Amino acid sequence: MLTLRPYQQLAVDAVYHHLREHDTNPVVVIPTGGGKTPVMATICRDAVQQWNGRVLVLAHVKELLQQSVDKLRQVCPDLPVGVYSAGLKRRDTEHSVIVAGIQSVYKRACELDAFDLVLVDECHLIPADGEGMYRQFLADARIINPHVRVVGFTATPFRLDAGPICREDHFLNAVCYEVGVRQLIADGFLSPLISKAGLVKADTSQLHVRAGEFVASEVEQAMDDAQLVEAACAEIVEATRDRNAVLIFASGVKHGQHVCRVLAEKHGIECGFVCGETPDAERDELLARFRGEPDGLFPRAPLKFLCNVNVLTTGFDAPNVDGVVLLRPTLSPGLYYQMVGRGFRLFPGKANCLVLDYGGNVLRHGPVDQLLLKDKARLGEGEAPAKECPQCRALIAPAYSHCPQCGFEFPPLERKKHDAQASRAGVLAGQATDTEFEVRDITYSVHTKKDADESAPQTLRVDYRLGLDYWVSEWICLEHTGWARRKAEQWWKARSPDPVPDSAQRAADLAEAGALAHTEFVTVRSVAGEKFERILHCKLGPKPEPCAVYAGVDLDDVPF
């Protein structure tokens, strides 16, 4: 007998309560990997066995149809389940439960006869131009049974272009039950997610937006850069050494094939590749190897890395995935969630899932359990995301050539295709990530707070270059008083044998003259949901000799 988890039973109860108390059609929201199918199977079973009803399960794509049939039979084997789908070459019409593709049945409601319930699986996938098929089918279904009700199931109650699926004028009207990612992770029903590596966001400011998403051809052209693909592949290999199944999302077919080629030629690693044109037999074999499924009695050659383009998002089930690599930027919070969600499922020996984001998606949309939804109309205007000043980390409009906060002058635009390092932004809200970086360059300057009067204290700004164009900064408050000054004194004394200067300008001059120990490594903390990262501590080289000025010698008198 099917036993539901506590939250799954709550979902079933919420559906029944809504159907009894309201005339509208409800939606159940359960995260990817949280188990929507047992909820659907329970509702199907109760409708058939307790109330002598009939249920239609609708899905939008062929893969979901077969998956729904298989899981319904697995979790509720006593249910009579039929299939109506041209793609699956089945046209069952007599069963108490029928799983159907909307494209196959939207004109055939009379042929299928009356239903009491219509369950819509992955209802966020319904495109705006596809609603007409659902409306037409339901209008005809209500002629046969005026009391037919509809229940939607999804992990993301909005379309992939960020439009909400529940509206008064829609055939789905209100969320009746929702359980969050964070709760299911805390309760042990989903795998924790972690993220690490360098924080360098993709520069998408030159990509155009069409229908709420980056133009696909521009994204692939931007991402498929030899230097950046090689840098990303090198980091992927290093970061996933202790991972067993790594799923990569590429920006296009050429880009994905390029990634596979670099992994093979530079690192001696086989990476499978699937896209919409991959033959079914080849695709099935690659997925079986990736999942670790045997070929009958014989084991298949294992496949640790699998790269895909637009085919392994919604509906793809591989619980062993413990690494997800986002090598594509997207403006769609739903698509971002679906990609990351491939790592949610539990699997024996799987402690967590590592997410490497090279498209700035975590920063763009927020942690996966606190998605930031943008208005579709604004996205359609082609508004580019903000850019971040490398000096003060202010988020500003991309058109600025100078930062209005600190005056930093941006260099002439050199399009960066995607991150050479994965984003360190936490993929779950509040998640803190500490990463140590080698310091590649240091600059010292005097910082005056914007709009401050002339008498306001200045600070010494120290900028550390940690990657190709990744900078982190700290501000040393030498001209302040109290705790800020004491902290600045500690900072200076750890790096220099010379007396602590009283002005930021004097400190900058001494630093440029070599009065400070070289900072070799810094540890940076990034907290998901927060704009700014901070330096936790530094590894310093040896202190230099005392500066000649403090030794009583004028620098102008030194004969070299």
> Which are the contacts of 79, defined by CB distance < 8 A and separation ≥ 6?
41, 44, 45, 48, 72, 73, 96, 97
User: Is the pLDDT score of 51 beyond 60?
Assistant: yes
> Between 262 and 315, where is the model more confident?
262
Q: Tokens for 46? A: 């109760």
List pLDDT tens digits, range 64-103: 787 788 888 887 888 889 998 887 788 888 899 999 988 8
What is the DSSP annotation of 96-115? SEEEEEHHHHTT-HHHH---
pLDDT of residue 209: 84
Distance (Å, whole) CA 363 – CA 370: 11
Distances in Å between the alpha carbon of 508 and those of 98, 265, 459, 500, 547? Answer: 74, 47, 10, 12, 13
User: Is the pLDDT score of 449 beyond 90?
Assistant: no
Rounded to 10°, the helix 216-223/253-267 angle is 20
Whether the model pTM is above 0.75: no
Distance (Å, whole) CA 547 – CA 550: 6
* Angle at the Cα of 127 from the Cα atoms of 124 and 133, rounded to 5 degrees: 105
> Nearest 10 degrees: CA dihedral of 460, 438, 426, 320?
180
CA atoms within 13 A on the CB side of 150: 23
Strand order, beta sheet including 90-91: 90-91, 81-85, 97-101, 55-59, 117-121, 149-154, 26-29, 174-178
pLDDT of residue 552: 42
Distance (Å, whole) CA 219 – CA 157: 26
Domain limits, the chain: 6-179, 193-396, 432-556
User: Is the pLDDT score of 373 beyond 70?
Assistant: no
The helix (H) or strand (E) run that includes residue 19 is: helix 6-21
Rounded to an integer, the average pLDDT of 21-40 is: 91
CATH 3.40.1390.20 corresponds to the domain 6-179: no
pLDDT of residue 541: 92
> Between 60 and 5, where is the model more confident?
5
User: Is the pLDDT score of 171 beyond 50?
Assistant: yes
> Nearest 10 degrees: CA dihedral of 175, 181, 182, 185?
130
pLDDT of residue 201: 47
Q: Tokens for 513? A: 């003259």
Name the class of domain 193-396: alpha beta
Domains 6-179 and 193-396 share a fold: yes
Using 50, 70 and 90 to split pLDDT, how confident is the model at 557? Answer: very low
Distance (Å, whole) CA 288 – CA 64: 17
Distance (Å, whole) CA 308 – CA 211: 23
List pLDDT tens digits, range 221-278: 888 888 889 989 998 999 999 999 999 999 999 999 999 999 999 999 999 999 989 9
Mean of the per-residue pLDDT values of the chain: 82
